Chain A
Amino acid sequence: MDATRRLARAAAPFLRRVGTIVVALWGASVLVFTVLNVLPGSPAQVILGTQATPQAVRQLTAQLGLNKSLLRQYVDWVGGLLHGSLGVSYISHLGIGAQIAQALSVTGPLVLFALVIGLAIGLPLGFIGAVRHGRFSGSLIGGLSQIGMAVPTVVAGLLLVIILTVKFHVFPTSGFPGWSDPLQALRSLVLPAFSLGLVEGAILSRYVRASILEQLRSDYLRTARSKGLRVGQALRRHGIRNAAIPLVTVVGLELASLIVGAIVVENVFALPGLGLLLLDSVNNRDLLTVQDIAMLVATAVLVINLVVDVSYHLLDPRLKGQS
């Protein structure tokens, strides 16, 4: 009895957060649907062109289910999403779900690859920057990361292409051969992933640096040293974990911004991922696909946010069982 009550109390803040995210997702769906459907003008007309007869337009409208009331359309759309059915594109007549799944097989690995690169750059650089604080190498790292943060992903991508592809012919400039040849596929993801990862790594390194510096200056690290630990040992035993708590947030936010950044980078490198699909849909006025992808990205961002929040509470004993 006592155990279940304690469990309930521990789970309460988690459940409350899940509740807020459900509300936020519902709001997001209303927002996306409204923005994309309020404008007058019929998608059928757009699809068929100006030459189409009114009858053909009416027919297509009915076929697409667009003659129903907006509320009905919204309910159908959300109901479909909840059942995992994303609908069929007006334009390509392909299942949107399948198209998105196909696109995610490129975007997913790209984002993960970029995250690994970002972490591989940001963690050590930030750590060195903190430990060497006040010395030349520390200031150099601080300055470089400041500049790195100011580089748009587009610029990073184009400059990498100029340096590595055009001058040295190391990596393919654009396109994606598919996963049938994993090695070639990975090779074509290298430059896009670096374009994303370099910038994210620069941002990350600043947070890592600040976080470790805060640890180095903390009273409890001094206490740990007063017990006979050396600076490095004290940092390992007492600093890393405490520094990691705020970093969880940052890495979560990075992941979200990588997903969005992928939209850009895929267009630089012509990678057939979610970003390219999204832009193609916008250009073709394939609104249902835009609607679905927008919901998907918004969901990803909000869920990442939730996971970050919850893990923050799990990592920091001070917040355990609090709202």
Chain B
Amino acid sequence: MPRVRTLIIGVPLCLTAVTALALWTVSRISSDKKNEMYIGSIGEPTTLNPLQAADSAAGAVTGVIFNGLLKYNADLVIEGDLAESWTMRQRSTFFFANPEEAVQAAANMEAQLVDRAALHLGKYSVDGDKLVLELTLPGVADSQKLAAMFGVAPLAAKTLGITAPKPLGDALEDFAAENPAARVVRVWTNGNLGEIVFLGDPDTVRAGLQKFLVARVGDKGLVLDDIVAPPFLAEPEVDFRLRDGVRWHDGAPFTSRDVRFTYNALMDDRVASPRKSDYELVLSLATPDERTVRVVYRRPFSPALESWMMSIMPAHLLEDLAPDQWPMKFNRAPVGTGPFKFAEWKTNQFVRVVRNDDYFRGSPHLGGIVFRVLPDPLTLRLAFETRQIDFWGVDPWAVGSFRQDDRFTLFSAPSNSYNYIGWNLRKPMFQDLRVRQALAHAVNIGQMIRYVLYGYGVQSTGIFTPEMWFFNPDIRPLAYDPQKARTLLAEAGWKPGPDGILEKDGQRFSFTLITNNGNAIRSDIATLVQADLKAIGIEVNVEMYEWAVFIKNFVNKGEFDAVVLGWALGQGFDQFQIWHSSQTGPEQLNMVAYQNPEADRLLQAIREEFDRETIIELCGELQQLIYDDQPYMFLFVPEGTSVMWKNAFRVYRPGPGGKWIDEPVTMTKAGWSHYLEWFYRPEYPPQQEN
């Protein structure tokens, strides 16, 4: 039976032979690169629709496909993108008991005005019992200074926010019409959400509105909130002048209609955009003509300007498509205005984009970019070493060896993130500031940075990180000083007990430190903290849970002693959600229940301030205040390092005054990839345009 025998030996031999041939072929395949760039990431984008995506993998891809109205330049200053220019102003409306008082107030103000420009005052006018100020810069502070000159006290306007179980429709308008005594001066409705500003007696109005709405929409899930707002109408206004001649990747012209559509989609419940909260303060968005967009806000909200870095979506493709069709029709084949056009998406493999020759700043030099999904960190490195990807975000343990290898170029900068241990301030144990300071002195953060990050990081000095434009560089980090920690704990009444663990009123100083598993840095932190605190007589039990469990069962409920976590916050100076005393409920982000009226005031002021210098000042104060309070043990800001094969790319970009600049890839404040659209491979030199 030689036939069977041949088969039994032949088949495995054949398989082996073909595989060997394949190995030989693959190793011999031309190493000449196409004119493309390859970027690897661990995660895969969930969707390429920027309205709905919240992950960084999606952000990297949509960043080259879409444009916002505004963007950051290399120094993190806001500049125009799809908008060629923009202007901001504000209308502040004060209400008086009668027209005579309004006239009187205007006259008093005029008499005391010394420097109109310093207070950004433009025109002002009296309209019945209203005094309307036109300001050239939005914000609350200027209006308050002007109001102090009135001599006559204006009526205080109060704001009530409404969350209803179903759409409100015209309910609020009807309430205003039926209850003249409430003196409603403004109504805003968006789906289930609404807001009224009124001058009447707060308690009466609240009770009346509650009763009225229960009759209209039912009481299950109806919530009325007092909203912190200035006691007058302060309505900032932003006018965007759009760039002319921009085309979508399919050739259709870009107009103000697209901006209006994007805003409407963001607010549409069916779209369920995670960015919706950035736009909830918009009162109205108007498009007087094809190249003008006018946005009016209900009150000053300075992060609003950054929110217009949001990618603008093509109205002509999406307007007539129900949002539940987007996942199939658009989200995996997006059309934008950016330097690269979407080409293909192979699930779990890669997303490829190709050059947009029609890009409004000029055609990019690269033929395309391939964003590869490589889920395993170790093989990601192998992919880099076989030149299957051009950039790699190096893990801290490998940075040293790449630094010494002159085949590579490294880009390092502190990341916009920090790690911390949050003390649950609901627990009596952590309520004493001396205890929290002692804990901070007891942990050797310098050593932690050496062991956990191999030295690639800096000690954190609070809620902002060094690369943010509003960071306060003057804060001194708390030093490692176990002796001082012991003294502080003794002052707070904690004395060593029989087993060496500190005690106070019969209670041992023992707590549970939790974190999520699957994150080596966080578990290393927990271990080191455990050891350091044991040395001063504090017992720490470390527990780790899977992420979803960790969040749902512990963090969201506020049921924990201490937690190891990190924040990655981009350039967000508005940290209201993380630190304001109103944000301590279940599922809210002030999970440690930090409450400080001064911090509340600063958080509110920062949101209402539009002047860059003043924002820096207020943020500096806030950072110092919270660092002094130590609601977290602020640990470190890791350094992010990316590595590139030496001279794999250069940058050829338009510089100031129309001159083109040819330079190596360098680190900017906005990262190494800030000029991604102008990267080129030296093998494929760009067409010189000088």
**Is B one of A's binding partners?**
no
